[in-house]
Chain A
Amino acid sequence: MCLLPLGAIKAQSVPQPNLTPDEVAEYVSKMTEFKNRGDSSAEAFIKVVAKIKMEEVNYVYISTAMFKQIFSLMDEAAEGNGNILASIKSMRSFASTSKNSYKALRAYMDIFLFEIDEVFGMQLQMVNKDDDVYMAIYSDDKNLLVINDDGDTNLYVVFIAGLSYELFMKIQESGFPIMGL
C-alpha cells in the first residue's frame, strides 16, 4: 500500500477538456508511446496534440533543416543566425479558426492558460493579460512554448523544440532579423 497525499488531488478547478472516451484512450496511449521513445513530457504532449486531427485547427510543422533552407533564401536573415538556428530542432504551431475549433484546441491547451508555474516540466517565464489577450511563454532547458488566447475564437500556440529560454533571451538581446517585419 502507498500513502498518497490525498490533499494533493484537486478536481475541476481548471475548465474541463471535453474529450470522448476514445480521445482520452488515444491521448494516454500516444503520450506513453512518445515518452517511451525518450521525448520529454513537453515534447510528447505537443506531438500527441499534433497527431490528433482537429477540424478547423490549422497545424504547421517545420523542421530545422527546412527552416535553415528558407533562411538561406532570404539574404537579410541569413547572417549571424547560424548558432541560433543550429539548436532549433523543429517548430509546430496550432491555430484555431472558429469558435468550434477554439473550443477543441483549448480542450488540450487549457493547462497553459492559468499561470500554472510548471506544466509538463516547462516553467512559466512570462505572462501578459493586456488588451483582451492572454499570452504566456513556457520553457524548459530545450523547448519554448508561446500561447496567445483571445478568449473567444483565436487561440494560437507555437512550440519550438531546441530553443531554450536562455537562447530566446539571447535572441532578444542580440536582435533577431525578422523578415518582413
Chain B
Amino acid sequence: MKKIIYMLFAFAVIAVNVNAQQSDAERLKTFVKELMSLSNEHIQHEKQGLESGDVDSSVNQYLVLKTLDDLGYEAVYEILNKYEVLDSEELFGIPMAINTIDGERQVAVFMDEKNSIFVADWYKGCTVLYTNFDIIELFTQGLIMSKLGLDGFVSDIVYMGNEQVRGFGQNMAVANALHKDGVAIVENGGNEKGRTQYVIDADELSVGYIEETEEFFISMPKEQFEIELERGSIYTWMQQILIPSNCKEYFSNYSLTFITPAVAIEEYMMNYLPKEEWLVEGYPKGVEDIYKQKYPGGTPAVFCMRSESKEGYESWIKDIYFLFNLNLKDTYNNLKVVQRANRNGKRYVQFYGDGSTMLTILDIPAENTCMMLLTVGTPKEFEEAANLYSVNGETGILNKCIVSINQDGLNLRLKDPDSKESNKNSANFEFGLKNKFLE
C-alpha cells in the first residue's frame, strides 16, 4: 500500500514538473508570438525560421526586433513589462546570464542550452533577440554568427562578460596584494584597538524614521553596550510594561532608538569633525574609546520607540491603551500625568516624575502609529554625565554644547564663540511627537 502511495506521489510530482515545464514553454511561445505580432512601421523585424511564430527545436531559429520610434518602443516595452523581463532572474525557466544597468542602457541576457533571450533597453528604444539555441555555445563551436547577422549580439555579450571577469580578477588582485602586504589589515578574529563591536543580522535590523528631519536610520544592537542601571526601576518598568511581547519582530514592526550620553558624544564628534577626515582615517580619534569607559555616573538617557506596521501597532497599543485613560495628576509607577489631549482622533499623554523622568506617548489609530518617548534625567544631568567621559584625555566635551531635552527629543548644539547663533555642528535627536500630534 505504501509503495502505491509513494508511486502516486511520485507521479504527482512528475506531473507538476511537466506542467511547470509546459507552462514555461507555452509562455515562451506566447512571448515570441506577441513580439512577432508587432510587425509594423514602428518596429523593424529580422527573423529566420519563425514565420509562424512557432518555436521548432530541430532548426536554428531567431527573431531580432528593433524599435524605430517612440510608438514602437512603447509597444515593445509593454510586452517586456508584462513579463517583467528587465526585473527577473529567470524568464520562462531560462536563467539570467547577464544583467547590466548603467546611465545609458539596461541589458538583460537569459540563456540555457536551448534558448537565448537578449534585451537591450536604452530608455528611448530597445532591441530584443530571441534564438532557440545557446548563442555563445554555437559561437564557441565555430558557427559564424555574422552569417546569421547576430555577431553584434555575441560580441556585446562577450564584452560584458569579459568586463565582469576582468572586474573579478581585479578585485582578487587588489585583495591579494593587500593580504600579502599585510599593511593595515585586520584579519578576522583580531581585535584591533578600539574597533567597534557590532553584531547585526537582518532580523535584528531596525529601520526608523525621524519625522522632524525626515531622516531614516538603521539602528542596531550593540552587544557590549552596558549601562549602570541606577535608575533601574524605571528601565525595568519600561521594558516589562511598555515594550510589546512581539518586539523581537521589530525588524518590520517597530523602530527603537536609545541614546545615552556616550552615544550623544559619539554623534556630536562625528558631526563636529570633518567627515572626509574620519571616513579615511576611521572613527574620529578618541571616539572609539568612549564605549570602553565604564559609565561613571547615573544614567540619563533618551529612548524612543515607534510602531512601523499595523501588526506592531495593534500588538503594542493593547498593552498601553490604559495610559491614555488616566486623568491629569493621576500617577502610574511614580510618574504623574502632566499633559493629556485628544485631537482629530489622536491621543497624547505625558507623564513626569521620579528621577526627572518624562514619558510621552502618542497614538494615531488612523495611521496605525504609536510613538513613545522616554527621557530619563534633565539636560543638565545629561550634560554632566557626558562630560565625565574622556575623549583623547579631555573631559567636559559637552561644555562646548547647548544641551536641550524636550518632549520631542534631545538636541546638542555647538556654541559658536562669535555669535549667539548655533552653527551647523550639532547632534539632533528629534522625534516629532508633538508636531505629529498637532498636524
Contacts and interface: CB of A to CB of B under 8 A. Distances in A.
B97 A35 contact: no
Given A11-B259, A128-B185, A158-B168, A62 B225 contact: no
Most B CB atoms within 10 A — which of A4, A73, A121, A129? A4
Most A CB atoms within 10 A — which of B96, B103, B188, B192? B188
Contacts of A56: 103
B281 A128 contact: no
Nearest to B301: A6
A86 interface: no
A165 B175 CA distance: 11
Most B CB atoms within 10 A — which of A3, A70, A181? A70
Interface in A76-109: 77, 91, 93, 97
A60 B263 contact: no
A1 B245 contact: yes
B164 A16 contact: no
A129 B202 contact: no
Contact of A6 (B89, B109, B198, B235): B235
B216 A18 contact: yes
A53 B184 CA distance: 34
A117 to B, nearest CB: 6
B162 A70 contact: yes
Given A14-B218, A69-B161, A135-B174, 13 more contacts: A9-B206, A12-B217, A13-B267, A16-B216, A17-B217, A60-B167, A65-B111, A70-B165, A71-B165, A117-B188, A152-B276, A168-B172, A180-B166
Size category of the A interface is: 35 or more
B169 A8 contact: no
Interface string B217-240: 111111101110000000100111
B140 A72 contact: yes
A146 B170 CA distance: 11
Please name the 7 residue pairs, one residue from A and one from B, whose CB atoms are nearest each other, closest first: A178-B169, A70-B161, A11-B257, A66-B97, A9-B258, A61-B99, A41-B202
Most B CB atoms within 10 A — which of A28, A114, A130, A171? A28
Contact of A151 (B136, B188, B279): B279
B153 interface: no
A117 B195 CA distance: 9
Interface in B145-204: 157-158, 160-176, 178-179, 183-188, 192, 195-203
A5 to B, nearest CB: 8
A6 B239 contact: yes
Interface in B294-346: 303, 308, 319
Contact of A128 (B158, B184, B222): B184
A24 B207 contact: yes
Interface in A1-38: 1-21, 23-24, 27-28, 31-32, 35
Given A8-B225, A41-B202, A160 B97 contact: no
